[in-house]
Amino acid sequence: MGAGPGGVATALKLSYLGIPSVLIDKATFPRDKVCGDAISGKVTTLLNRLDPGILERFNRQAIQADVWGIRFVAPNNKELDIPFQPNYVRDAQAAPGYVARRYDFDNFLVEEARRRDNIQFLEGQAVQEYSRIDGGWQVSGEEGALQVEARMLIVADGAHSAFSRKVAGLERDFRHHAGAVRAYFSNVGGLSPDNFIELHFIRSVTPGYFWIFPLPGGFANVGLGMRSDILRRRKTNLRKALFEVIEGHPALRERFKNASLVGEVKGYGLPLGSKRRPLSGDHYMLVGDAGHLVDPLTGEGIGNAFYSGFIAAEQLQQCLAANDFSAGFLKAYDQRVGRVLGSEMRLSYQMQKMLSYPWLVNLLANLIAGNRRVVALLSGMYNDFALREQLVKPWFWLKMLWRR
């Protein structure tokens, strides 16, 4: 269920494994999806492994901006440009990341699903009821408009999944959840020529952050996010706070003076992967946001949705081989997701907490700025999990300071 990145990734992987599936979504495509629009290298790596032709077709589209790094802006306005690859040479075929509107990217994925003969795609079909039947599940729509029986239900219907909440029991925990608002602007000044995505740690919205992600055609995805328990405690209106930052922050006010809001500001919730949760049960698995697998630091969920979708497809292959769809057998899915993604998300949660102190962010920015050796070292953290683990250890920074 769900034809976003997690659902389509699952269906595509199943298709290439020779396993037919039914892909169901309440929307008709193309459709908008509120998101930061960032696409990590996980996605392109997995697509290329599945079928290089898919990635070639994606790169022929004009829907994405190639992203080559991150610009961190500390509360003291110190800017740090960290490339995803040291000494990189721009090549659209090898970009380490992208930004693309979900309206375009999700539709591209759906069109890939339509190309596969063993994926039955049912769009414009809302699932209203889930019923256990002998040997699996039955999903139904209003007044019998939809009725599908399956031995395995793979749930990828997003952050507000009713199945996840009512059947799997994944209740919202505001300490492990974030709220965000997103808006599209044209003509934002000062964007990086290499499309570095920008994360601004501004004292007035700490411990959240403000972002600017470049899009094709002179547009940018602009937003603000903060952990939900803090939002509730402060009674913060994120939409109001977004414009207060744009209009009140001296550097950003200058960059937005000729910018225009395109469309409306939209809000959304992010179920963060900083708390381990059950992801499966008898004849079902949860994928992506439905399994609360959003990165706690960056808020990026597409890459983890892809990964969990591919893992779910491979687990289903094992279920079919063993003719075992029980909760006990499916624990292997939870374990593999935890092994592949869990450590990374726990680390992101630690970094999220570390970056919630403005004085510490300023100290690190002052330490790193102008130090090419440290910048080159940090460039490796995108692909080196062991290095990222060092970033939350005080002795690592003391060593950097000592060598400066």
User: Tokens representing 96?
Assistant: 């380490």
CA 144/CA 126 separation, integer angstroms: 11
pLDDT tens, 296-331? Answer: 888 889 999 999 999 999 999 999 999 999 999 999
How many Å from the N-terminal Cα to the C-terminal Cα in the chain?
Answer: 53
Could you tell me if 319 and 330 are in contact, meaning their C-beta atoms sit under 8 angstroms apart?
yes
CA 288/CA 34 separation, integer angstroms: 15
pLDDT tens, 204-263? Answer: 888 889 999 999 999 999 999 999 999 999 999 999 999 999 999 999 999 999 999 999
Cis omega (within 30 of 0) for bond into 30 = yes
pTM: 0.91
- Out of 27-36, 201-210, 272-281, 314-323, the most confident range is 314-323
| pLDDT of amino acid 105 | 95
| Residues 6+ away with beta carbon under 8 Å from 69 | 81, 82, 83, 84, 88, 192, 194, 196, 197, 379
Sheet holding 38-39, edge to edge: 38-39, 97-100, 64-67
Could you tell me if 296 and 272 are in contact, meaning their C-beta atoms sit under 8 angstroms apart?
yes
Assigned superfamily of 5-33+42-61+101-172+273-352: FAD/NAD(P)-binding domain (3.50.50.60)
CA 388/CA 351 separation, integer angstroms: 9
| Average per-residue pLDDT for the chain | 89
CA 131/CA 172 separation, integer angstroms: 23
